[in-house]
Every structure is written in C-alpha cells, then in structure tokens.
Structure 1
Amino acid sequence: MYCSSRLRAFAAAATLLAAAAIAHAQAALPNVVILATGGTIAGAGASAINSATYAAAKVGVDKLIAGLPELSKVANVKGEQVFQVASESLTNDNLLTLAKRVSALAKQPDVDGIVITHGTDTVEETAYFLTLTVHTNKPIVMVASMRPGTALSADGALNLYDAVSVAGSKDAMGKGVLLTMNDSIESGRDVSKNFNIKPSAFVSQWGSLGMVVEGRNYWFRAPVKRHTMNSEFDIDTITSLPPVEIAMGYEGVASTAIDALGKSGIKALIHGGPGNGSVADRIVPSLQKLRADGIVVIRSSRVPDGFVIRNAEQPDDKYDWVVAHDLRPQKARILAMVALTKTSDTKELQRIFWEY
C-alpha cells in the first residue's frame, strides 16, 4: 500500500515536471500569427497529378495549420482567416483591411511575427503595399505556393514552415516585408513572379536577401530603400486609396485605352512602355492631355529588369511626368496610390519613387 502510494506520487510528480518542461519550451518559442487570405497555398486539385489545374482558396487556415504539426517546433502559432479569395480578385479595400489587421497585430507585445498566406498572382503587390504602409520592425512574411497541397511535389507545406520560421527569427527584424518561397527569402519590394507554373517562379532582379534551410536563415544582403518603420506613409491614417490605372505600350498601340481611362476619374496613369518606358509618338498628345487635366502620368517599363531613366526617350521635365525607377507597372501603381494619399505634386512624387 505504501509502495503504491509512493509510486502514484512519483508518477504525479513526473507528470507535473513533464508539463512544466512543455510549458517552458512553449514559452521559449516565438509567437507567430498566420493571416490567411486564400490562394493556391489553400487550393485543391481533382487528383495528385493536377499541379497546374485546381481550385484556389478552398482550404481554411485552421486546416492548413493542423496539416503541418512541425510548426509547433518553431513557434507558437495562431491562425486567422482574413478572407478567402483568389489573389487576382483582391481589391483595394482588401488591401486596406489586411494592412490594418497586420498593423494592429504588430503592436501587440505577445506577437513576435506575422505570416500572410496569399495567392501568387498578386502577392508581390500586397507585399509592396505592406512594405510602404505598416510601421513595425517585426518580421512580416508573405508566403504562397505554386502548387496546391493535393499535388505531387506540393510546395506549400515547406514554404509555410519556412515562413513561420523566418517570422519568428530575431535576425529577420527590421528587414521590411519578406516573401519566403522555394527556400529563398525575397524582399517584398523587389520580388516579382517571373514564371507561371514553376515552383521557382519568384525572383528579385537585385538578388535574394537570403535563404532559409531547415529552419535556419542565411542572409546575404539587406534592403536599402525606405520601408516599414522608415516609411512616411502609415496605414493607420489611410482610409481609402485613389484610383490609379495602367495602360501598356506595345507596337501599334492606339490611344483608345488612355483616352478612356482619362475620363474615368483616375488620379494617375501608369504607362507601362517597352524598353526605357518608351512612349509611342502618336499617344504622347493623349498623355499630355491627361497631365493638363491634372492626372499624374508615370512612365514605367514592361521590361522585367533594369530601371527607367528620367529624361531619356521622353522629356519628362518638359511634360511634367514622373518615372517609376525600377518598379514594374503593377508595383508602380501601388506606390502611386499610396503616395497620392499625401501629395499630387510631381516633384514630390518623383522623390518618393526614387526613395521607395
């Protein structure tokens, strides 16, 4: 009887010690919140061989987390379903909602990092918007996948594991918004989707910031453009975004799109031209008219790499146009919308495009 009582006491003590050890281990882990928005990472195909044909935004965040128990080894993870949308259908209002939620979470002392699951089609745009507007030095990590979780060689699980690992890392602090995919850590400002079906779809023309391998970060460069804590823009003060549209330049282009957009109430037009953001001679008058009507004209380039040189190809000073520096048209639109919440002065806008 005595021995039995002692054994029960020892067992109870061992259980308490084990629970204390688990609690201590959990307390030592970073706290990471996963905000889910949809996309391929939450997609499902009809069979395992469907890696390019599938339905996006089908799996909820709780199921994503439950399907990856390894996350508990790198962070204390909580999930929130912000919305469930294929990223090509996201709106400006979605951007504002997401950014405001990220900003609120970043202010919480019990949150060390934030992960956002997103569709690949527009993840670079959302990443840049957050880069410009959320004031925090805590890691904000975008993550996506090129294949649904039901496919052979699905990439979403490892991408998500890497994202949580990076978001909980102290060495990721202060580096702006990041994207982790295919083992790479990319700058949210610089990264672009360059291939529509390969897992290695995302690249930055100025190079990756680093790599994450088996939960360890390896850094090779840091962003130098203004971002997050150093940004003059703050999502907590932005209530709406002005309309900005894109018109592409190409051989044989007519002024039809530009003329129509000029009558639609836009505040700025991004011209995505060939080469150095070149503008066909026959549409210059239409762009000049837009500027005369108070619409800001921004010259960008459809070329994947390089940057637009001011007063080359077109006399930007004479026409009072802005150049988009190295931003592709879709990212130039994001910066233009954010910048126009502060100013419509073209000299100030040009400064902003140089600095961000």
Structure 2
Amino acid sequence: MQNAHLPLLAVIATGGTIASRTGGDGSSTPGLNGQALLDRLDAPPPVRLRPVDLFARDSSTLGLDEMQAISDEIGRQLADPEVSGVVVLHGTDSMEETALLAALQHPKGAVVFTGAQFTDDHPEADGPANLAAAIAEVMRGDGIRLAFGGRVTPVWGIYKHSADQRDAFRTCAPDAAGPDLHLPAPVTGLRIDTVAVHPGGDGLHIRASLAAGARGIVVAALGSGNATADIVAAIAECTAAGVPVVISSRVPQGRLVASYGG
C-alpha cells in the first residue's frame, strides 16, 4: 500500500534492454512490464509510483509514430494534477531521438529518461540502479533530462557514445539546455529521410528520397556542414521542389557554419 501523501510519479515503460531477458538462443527480448521493473528496485523510494505500460519494443524498431505516442503519453501524465513527474524507460538505440522530441513538445515538464545497457538477467544488470537514479532525479524539478550510468544530462544534444559501457551517453550541445523552442503539433504522417554524406559521395540518395516522396530530408554532412558539388546540386533540386533540407553533421561537437565558397 502506497502512502497517499507521498508525491506521485508516472513510470512509462516502452521496452528496451532494461525490460529484456535472454532466451535460450542467446537473443534478448523486451518482456518485463512496468510493475515488474519497479519490483526490481532494491529499496522502495519515498514516492508513489504509477507504472504505465505503453509497449514493449526494442528501440531500434521504433519509428516516429511510436516516438510521438511516447511524447503524447508524457503529456497526458504531466496534465494529471496528481503527477509530480514522469520517468520514461526506453531502449538506448533511439533514446536520443525520443528524448529530444519530448524536450521540444514538453520543455517545462519534469521528465527523466533512462534505460539499461545490460539485460535484466545479466550478472551486471544496470537497469535497477538507473531506474532508482531517474526516480531521484525527476523529483529535483522541471526539465527533460537523462539519468544513465551515474551521469545526469540535459537531453538536448545527447548521443549514445558506447554500445557496451554503463555510462553510455554524452552531450555535444554548446548550450545543453537547448534553444527556446516548442513543437506542439505531431510530427508523424510524413516521410522524413536521413542521408549520410561521405567523402566523394554524390546526390544519388538525396534524389532517391525526393523521388520516394520524402517531405523533408536531413543531411548528415561533413565537417561544419560541407559536401560535394553534386550533393549541393541535389539539395538545390529539393529546394526547387519545395522539400526542405536540414543540414546536420557527422561531427559530434561544434556549431555548423557556412564557411567554404561554393
């Protein structure tokens, strides 16, 4: 029986390694629900916990529809006057994208993302410790944050830097709090492609995305946002067709600037 006078936190379970156990064939599958994960805590925290089972998915299989569903559920829980904060349990492969979406749509909410690098039945399972840290962190106040591997980080600019270390995430944002943006409208229903640039690459994949009906393209360019002449030409074709292109970079740190002529 939970003490009704304690603060109430919603814990949204979406699957991921934190909810996974290893099968007889050696593969791991998410199967633990939110209550089962809360039961793994070493000691009950001084709060009430409301498990919310959204789905149980490997986060590498999530698309924008599922990410929007997570953000929508965060909004529903934050709108409940009883709820003091939200913890999101998520796989690490796409946590940075879902966390950024949540930060854009709920910038003032008290929300902490976490997950695990090792399955629940692993000898070095890190899920319970990460969950306990996330519960403690969300009670510190508003803001969208990540609590993982002993590190607490604002989610703007986070990226997964290791596939097998407990401390899996880093941030590259010059201003880790992020710009003052708000994205209230759902982002689903449109095809948005990502194209990676490599030295000597041409505009083939950008043109293929345009031909496939992409309504927007993100280009992971070189350096501070640089690319070959044919890629620039392909981007110009997108602009002429009314398809926006946003330039990012494969470089994890530093601002993108237009510096090279041409």
* TM-score of the aligned structures, taking structure 2 as reference length: 0.91
Q: Residues of 1 paired with 2:176 and 2:255: CA distance?
A: 19
Which residue identity is paired with 2:51? Answer: G
Map 1:204-215 → 2, pairs under 5 A: 204-206=171-173
* Alignment map for 1:153-302 (pairs within 5 Å): 153-167=124-138, 169=139, 171-173=140-142, 176-206=143-173, 223=177, 225-226=179-180, 231-234=181-184, 237-238=185-186, 240-302=188-250
Deviation at 1:142, TM superposition (A): 0.6
Q: 2:115 aligns with which of 124, 140, 144?
A: 144
Q: Deviations over 1:259-287 (max 9, x none)?
A: 11011111221111111121112322222
TM-superposed CA distance for 1:190, in Å, is 1.9
- Between the aligned partners of 1:95 and 1:54, the Cα distance in structure 2 is 24
Name the structure 1 match of 2:48: 76
Q: Does 1:313 align with 2:260?
A: yes
Q: Answer whether contact 1:127 1:177 (CA < 8 A) is retained.
A: yes
d(CA) in 2 for partners of 1:275 and 1:138?
Answer: 34
Equivalent pairs counted in the alignment come to: 262
Distance 1:312 1:287 in 2: 17
CA spacing shift, 1:61–1:206, aligned 2, 3 Å:
same
> 1:38 maps to which residue?
15
**In the alignment, what sits opposite 1:332?**
none
CA distance in 2: counterparts of 1:155 and 1:110, whole angstroms = 29
In the TM superposition, what whole-angstrom CA distance separates every residue of 1:162-183 from its partner, at most 9, and x where no partner exists? Answer: 111112x2x322xx21110011
Q: State, as a whole percentage, how many aligned pairs show the same letter.
A: 23
Structure 1 residue 117 displacement after superposition? 0.4
Structure with higher strand content: 2
Distance 2:222 2:16 in 1: 30
Shift in Å, 1:201: 1.5
Aligned-residue RMSD, C-alpha = 2.3
C-alpha spacing 1:270/1:178, structure 2 compared with 1 (3 Å): same
Secondary structure at the aligned position of 1:44 is classed as: strand
Following TM superposition, by how much is the alpha carbon of 1:88 offset from its aligned partner in structure 2, in angstroms? 0.9
State the distance in 2 between where 1:275 and 1:97 align. 34
> Which consecutive unaligned segments of at least 5 residues does structure 1 have?
1-21, 48-52, 208-220, 316-356
TM-score by length of 1: 0.68
Which ranges in structure 2 are unaligned for 5 or more consecutive residues?
none
Would you say the 8 A contact 1:74–1:165 is kept in 2? no
User: Aligned equivalents of 2:162 and 2:188: distance in 1?
Assistant: 32
1:60 and 2:33 correspond: yes
User: Equivalent residue of 2:57, what SS?
Assistant: coil
Shift of 1:138: 3.6
Q: CA deviation at 1:116?
A: 0.7
Q: Residue 303 in 1 paired to residue 257 in 2?
A: no
- Computing the radius of gyration from Cα coordinates, the structure with the larger value is 1
Query: Alignment partner of 1:34: what SS?
Result: strand
Structure 1 residue 41, shift from structure 2 partner: 0.5
Counterparts of 1:241 and 1:33, CA distance in 2: 28
Counterpart contact for 1:75–1:165, Cα < 8 Å:
no
Matches of 1:188 and 1:124 in 2, distance apart? 7
Cα deviation, 1:55-105, whole Å, max 9, x if unaligned, reads 1412221211122252x3331111011011110111221122221111111
Return the letter of the residue paired with 1:159: N
Q: In the alignment, which residue of structure 2 is the partner of 1:346? A: none
